[in-house]
């Protein structure tokens, strides 16, 4: 629905790439070999290191 709304403006934008979010719950259940950390932990660690500005995303709502 949001994509349809954005596309209906008639303006030309750069290509927008998305992904299927149905896999997001699996990030919490995919464990590292130590059995403690999850894939979600790893992703957040990488975001904190390389793109800390993305952590402010929730503040925009």
Q: What residue numbers bound the domain in which 13 lies?
A: 2-60
Report the pLDDT value the prediction gives residue 4, as an integer from 0 to 100: 63
Report the pLDDT value the prediction gives residue 1, as an integer from 0 to 100: 54
Rounded distance between C-alpha atoms, residue 23 and residue 27, angstroms: 7
Number of domains in the chain: 1
pLDDT tens digits along 2-49: 666 666 666 666 776 777 888 888 888 889 888 889 998 998 999 999
Contact 18, 4 (CB under 8 A): no
Contact 11, 5 (CB under 8 A): no
What's the longest Cα–Cα distance across the chain? 51
CB atoms closer than 10 angstroms to residue 29: 9
Rounded distance between C-alpha atoms, residue 46 and residue 52, angstroms: 9
């Amino acid at each position: 629905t949001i994509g349809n709304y954005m596309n209906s403006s008639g303006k030309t934008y750069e290509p927008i790439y998305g992904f299927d979010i149905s896999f997001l719950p699996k990030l919490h259940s995919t464990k590292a070999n130590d059995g403690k950390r999850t894939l979600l932990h790893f992703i957040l660690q990488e975001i904190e290191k390389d793109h800390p500005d993305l952590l402010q995303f929730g503040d925009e709502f």
